[in-house]
Structure formats: structure tokens, C-alpha cells
Chains A and B, each alone.
Chain A
Amino acid sequence: MVPPQVVSSYKQLQQAFSARPSDPKKCALLLAQLKIALSELGLLVPMGDASLEDMIIARDVLEIGAFWSIRSRDIPSFDRYYSQLQTFYNDYSSALPPSPREYPIRGLYLIRLLTQNRIADFHTTLESLPLAADTLTANPYIQHPVNLERWLMEGSYSKVWKAREEAPAEEYKFFVDSLMDTIRNEIASCEEAAYESLPLKDAGTLLFFSSQNELLSFAKQRGWQVNLTAGTTTFAKKGEEKIEIPREKLIAANLALARELEQIV
């Protein structure tokens, strides 16, 4: 059974977390204390037969921890909390009552994979969700990252841009910035390939920049030639120059071929 002081600090944590605005410093302190207490009780990674109430407390603490790490923008810490929660979500799913925070956290993890461009991991995680594939879209927390991924893959970047305000939970917005960076770089590389030159104003709208200064620094970063008087930006041309025949390679291939033929005949 969980000792009373742990329960009381758990209550405090809940209060500190749900207060508006929440108190990040107090949360951090309480979380650290609680994690030590839980690991001493053997509840952090539950083994065997812990009582249901204790496990629910442990799960709640970890869930609050996950949300707290996103609010304080500590992504590695979020990863740790997520992997600890996996045990509760997957292995004890039949014993524990489902948590209302389970899907928000799973969704957040999916978005996190997206911002890092870990598409393969994204799909593996998606496949292992305990939901039927055609009901995925019915769950708002999961639907959001699934849509984002689809739009990113087909190139509907404007939809991603518009969807940033439609996040199903407050914490989703914390990922928006890094997601925007990802898509801006994607768009920029597309533009480099698809356009010869582009008016500055249009380039700004395509890249979702509101001010010209932002655009100019971004253009500098990517090495675009900006012509301020004409108001256009020209993209450095790549490729095309490499039409030379790779002689050595061809000779080597032909020699290898001749040797093999010699062996056969």
C-alpha cells in the first residue's frame, strides 16, 4: 500500500498541475520526489501484483510528468515518461481502467515522431495502437497526427499550416513550432527544384512568413540570391552539369563482364 505521505504529495502534484497557471517549479520538485518514492515501492516499473489503486497513482504521476515535460519543453524527458507509461498502457490494459489521458499522450508521441521526420517509427507506433485501423480517424487525438502525416507526405503543406490551430489538446501546440520548421525546410527544398525565380512576396506567403525580414534571413541561410530591387529571389541551379560519361566506371564494368564471360565459356 502506498504510504500516506506519498498520497499527500500526489494530491499536491495534482493541485499544482491543474492550477491555472500551473506551477512548473513545484511540479518539478514534487515529480522528482514522487518518482523516487514510487521506485522504492516498486511501482515505477510494476512487477507482479501491485494493487490497482497504487498502479493508478503511479500511472497518473507519470502522465502528469509527461505533460509537464512538454510544457517545460523538455522532449527527452517526455520520451522517458512515455516509455515508462508503455507498460501501463500495453501490459496492464486489461487490468487497469482506461485513462482519459492515454490517447492525448499517444497522439503527442506520434507528433513528436513527425517533427523529427521519423516516419517509419511513426507508422510502427500507429500500427501497434490498440485500435482498429478504420476507427483511427474517429479518435480526435490520433486523427490529428494521422492527418498531419498524410498532408506532409502528399505535400499539402497549407493544410498543415491551417491545422496548427485545430490541435485537440493544449499541449499539441508546443510541437507546432518545430513542425513548422520541418515543413518550411521541406517547402524550401521543393521551391529550389520547382522554380527558377519567385517574387519575394509570393515566396513569403508560400513559406508562411509574415515579415520580409524573416524571409530574408531564411533565404540567406539557404543560400538563395535575393534581388531586392526587382523584388525576386532566384534559386541556385543544381544538376544538369553532370552529363560527362563516367569512363572509369564503364571500363571497370566491361572488364568485369569480360572476366565473368571468360569463366563461363
Chain B
Amino acid sequence: MADVEMKPVEEKKAEEGKKEESKEQSPAPLTPVAEIKANVALIERAVSTLEPRFTHRVLRTLGALRKKLSDAVLRDAISEVYTTESQTKKTLLGWLPPAPAADQSMDVDSAPPPKQSPPEPVPESEVYFRLLILHHFLTSQNTYKQAMDLAHDTIERMQSLSRRSMDPIAAKVWYAVERTYELSGQLADARPLFLAAQRTASLRHDDETQASLINRLLRSYIQYSLYDQADKLVSKTTFPTSAGNPQFARYHYYLGRIKAVQLNYTAAHTNLQQAIRRAPPAKTAPGFYQAVHKLSVVVDLLMGEIPERSLFRQPVLEKALSGYFEIVKAVRMGSLSQFQSTLSKYASVFEQDKTYTLIVRLRQNVIKTGIRRLSLSYSRISLRDICVKLHLDSEEDAEYIVGKAIRDGVIEGRIVHEKGWMECGGQKGGYGPEVSDVFSRRISYCLELHNQSVKAMRYPLNAHRKELAAAEGAREREKELAKELQEGGDLDDEGPDLGEGF
């Protein structure tokens, strides 16, 4: 699960990053150092113009940039950005291993002593550098320890600086912090840290950090199967509505998982649908796409619906969902034996996806489908035959099970106990009050959709002015016309004659 969750957004970022690069930057690919420098400049601009847009642009390239990082690149970038010798520069360089001697001498030679010290870069750039170094540390196992130290140091630095323009970067830093803890296998220990930070973030209305942190926490709870706590967290927090789509997709995925465990399948279904809609396209984030679909297939089945066949033909899902496809087939056939054999065959896969317990719950659905098929094909069938066909253990069981199915409204029928058979009632007529209920529900959904989309439409800011001006103009013309008419009336009194003449 671990990786699946991580991939989507990263890869999305990578993709976007690439697009952006090819679009915006010069045709010749920039060196990583130059790219970092450009990014720092953008951050400066974002801070000076109070436009978080530029920071977002920088962060989108993070995924692509991360793969090109190395000690040397980071060192060069830092020494080029921080031209003056300062405390910040020293601490930043302190995290990196010292450069080989030759390298350093070159650096010293090439960087001319600054004539007039330019202003120190903004603290946002410093945190950005720390983020880059952190990601760089996480690429190799040897530096996890350092990464942990740096993570703590960065958090302290961020909190002591407490600048609102830093929020988008801070949200990314928290992600890196979680990754650090997870890779060193101490995800549970990070929880108090996240909880405290989440409180602060929500007090400061720092939406991005808050969204990121709520997801971090949910993930950590669900990783350790603490569904109770996760549920409480969800009920006590409000997910910021301004959060980005990737965060929303994750949030809905976690919600769907919690709801599914709590047997609230309808809510789980809605959440998973949202997650699928908000997730980046399948090609860019296959991991997330597959994980959501796995869960969604199981929830669909638990709701008594059969997922569409075409879903399993999608190239991204075909292989990953093969086990689930077998389960769907078994449920559709209502065959308990096939269900059991599939379950044991793919047990380890389901266990890994954390869907095993959910799939075990499907057993009753298999039986229900089986009974429904029988009731459709026979008008009268003995309990013994039901028992044989559904692979139940005894006739006694069959009687209870059929009784329950009738009570739950799965089938229409009666049991005749003395003769030991089940009589199936005819299908209900397709017309009645319930039809109009369904109809009005669907229509109201359509109307709701229409109204929502009307509300969501954007109108250009000054459009109404134009209209106003037009109206004003029309009024003006009318006035003139009236005036002219009046004046005309004054001038020639033989108006009516003229009219006749025409």
C-alpha cells in the first residue's frame, strides 16, 4: 500500500512538471542548478508579489527535479544563490557532505567576491532548499538518519519563522517528513508531531498544510488499522475545501475505506466515486487508480451490484484486478464453492491490498445471488435441491437461509414446511408507486446537476457593465428620440399630413 499512495501525486507532478518545462522554458533543457536558481527566483517573486501561484508552479516541478538531484548539484545551487557568507548558507551546506577539494577550489575561484552584498534570499528559499535536500536524502538508505535530523530541524525552522507565504512549501515538507518516518519504519511515532502541527495549521487557516496533515494522519491510522481513531479524526476535523485535487482524492479514498469497514457501503461508494473522479488520469497515476478501483469493486459487490465488465478490460487495471475479476465472476454465478476456491487462491493478494476481510463478508451475497437465481428459474423447488445446488451443509440451514432471504426481500416466495419446498412468487409487476419514486429520484438528481452547473459557471467580471452600458445607451437613444419627436412636433405642425403622405 505504501507506494501506491505515494505514486499518484508525484507522478502527476512529474508529468505536469515536464509539460511546463517544455512549454515555458527554453528548448534546450536546463541544468538542474539553473532550474533550482530559476525556481528560487520564482519563489522570491511569489513572496514579493504575494502571489502563491508562482510557488505552486515551483512545487509542481518538484517531482521531476527530484530525480536529478545530487550532492554536487545542491552544493552548487546553494553557493550560487547565497552569494554572501551567511549563517543560513553555512547551515545548509552543513547538511551536505563536504565537496572534494578540487571542486571547492574551483568554486572559490569562479565566485568573485561580491562587490556590494545583494539582499539575503527570503527564508522561503531556504526551506525550499531544505526540502530538496530532504528528498535527496530519502533516495538512499544510508542517509535516512540524516534525513530524520534534517526533518526535525526544518520543522523547527518553519515554525519559528511562521510566514504565511511559506505555507505551500510547508505542506510539501510535511509530506517529506512523513516519508522520512515511514522509510525508517517509525510511522506511528510521527503522529503526535502531526497532530500538534495540524492544530496549529487549522488555527492559522493554513489550508494547504491542514489538508496535507489530515491525509498524513489518516494514512498513518489506517496503516495501523486504527479505524476508530481515524473515524474520530474525520468527525472532528473539516477538510479544507480549497485543497487541491490530489489531496481531495486521497482524502476521499481514506474516507471510503473507513466507511467500508463500518459497513456503510453507500457512503463508501460515494466517496470512492469522488476519489476516482478527482484522481489524476490512469496513465499518470496507475498506482492510486488501481488501489481505488480494487476497493470500489469490492464495495460495489457488497452493495449487491456487479461492476461492469469493461472495467476489467482497461489496460491499467486488467492485470492488477485479475483476482477481483474472479471474485466478481463467483458472486455473479452465486457459486459458493467457486467463491471459496478463489478466495483461498488469492488470499495473499487480498491480504496485501487489505481487502481480505471485506471480501470474506461477500459470502452472504454469494448465497443471496444463488437463491435469487433459483427463485427466478423455478416456480417450486425442494429445500433439498436448494441445499445441493448452493453447496449448503444441511436442509435445516437451507430453510433458515431461504426464510431470511424472504424476510430481507431478496426473493418473493413462501416456504411450505410440511412438504419441504419453497414456492416462488411471481415477479412483482413493474408498475407501482415505487416506479414513480425511482423516476422522481433520478429526475431530481438531473435537476440538481443542472442547477449546480449553472451555479458553478464563471462569468467574466465586467460582463454586466457592458450590458449596463448597452442599457444606458438604449435609454439615452430613447430620450433623444423622444426629444426629437417633441421638437419635431414643435417644428412642423402638419405632422399628420406627412404621415398620410407616407
List residues of A whose CB falls within 8 A of some B CB: 119-120, 123-124, 126-130, 132-134, 136, 150, 153-159, 186-187, 189-196, 198-199, 202, 206, 243, 245-246, 249-250, 253, 257, 260, 264
Contacts and interface: CB of A to CB of B under 8 A. Distances in A.
B397 A156 contact: yes
- What band does the interface of chain B fall in when counting residues whose beta carbon is under 8 Å from A? 35 or more
B403 A133 contact: no
A128 B364 contact: no
Contact of A193 (B231, B403, B440): B403
Contacts of A119: 263
B447 A245 contact: no
A12 to B, nearest CB: 36
Interface string B193-212: 00000000000000000000
Nearest to B441: A253
B69 interface: no
Contact of A123 (B261, B356, B401, B447): B261
B347 A134 contact: yes
Interface string B402-437: 111111000001110110000000000000110010
Given A123-B261, A123-B262, A127-B261, A196 B414 contact: yes
Contacts of A153: 361, 363-364
A191 B262 contact: no
Given A246-B433, A260-B447, 14 more contacts: A123-B261, A127-B357, A128-B228, A133-B351, A134-B356, A150-B364, A153-B363, A155-B405, A156-B397, A159-B393, A194-B406, A195-B403, A253-B440, A257-B447
Contacts of A127: 225, 227, 261, 357
Interface of B: 225-228, 231, 261-264, 347-348, 350-351, 354, 356-357, 360-361, 363-364, 367, 392-394, 396-397, 399-407, 413-415, 417-418, 432-433, 436, 440, 443, 447, 450
B363 A194 contact: no
B397 A195 contact: no
Nearest to B404: A155
A194 B413 CA distance: 7
Interface class of chain A by DSSP: helix
A206 B399 CA distance: 9
A245 B440 contact: no
A124 B228 contact: yes
Residue of B231, B263, B399, B404 contacting most chain A CB atoms (<10 Å): B404
12 contacts: A133-B351, A133-B354, A136-B357, A150-B364, A154-B363, A154-B367, A155-B405, A157-B400, A191-B403, A194-B402, A194-B415, A260-B447
A47 B227 CA distance: 23
Given A123-B357, A194-B403, A194-B414, A128 B347 contact: no
A132 B351 contact: yes
Contacts of B403: 155, 187, 190-191, 193-195
Contacts of B364: 150, 153-154
Contacts of B357: 123, 126-127, 133, 136
B235 to A, nearest CB: 14
Given A133-B356, A194-B403, A124 B351 contact: no
B400 A190 contact: yes
A198 B447 contact: no
A199 B401 contact: no
A158 B9 CA distance: 51
A157 B450 CA distance: 49
A189 B399 CA distance: 14
B363 A150 contact: yes
A207 B201 CA distance: 58
Contacts of A264: 450
Contacts of B347: 134
A198 B228 CA distance: 45
A220 B238 CA distance: 51
Contacts of B405: 155
A82 to B, nearest CB: 13
A97 B406 CA distance: 50
A190 B404 contact: yes
Contact of B433 (A128, A156, A196, A245): A245
A195 B404 CA distance: 11
Contact of B417 (A126, A157, A195): A195
Contact of A120 (B262, B392, B413): B262
A244 to B, nearest CB: 8
A193 B404 CA distance: 9
Contacts of B227: 124, 127-128
B225 A199 contact: no
A187 B264 contact: no
A248 B414 CA distance: 34
Contacts of B262: 120, 123-124
Contacts of A128: 225-228
Contacts of A123: 261-263, 357, 361
Nearest to B226: A128
3 closest cross-chain pairs (CB), A and B: A155-B404, A190-B403, A133-B356
Given A133-B351, A196-B414, A250-B436, A120 B264 contact: yes
Nearest to A243: B432
Contacts of A249: 433
A225 B396 CA distance: 24
Nearest to A128: B225
Nearest to B436: A250
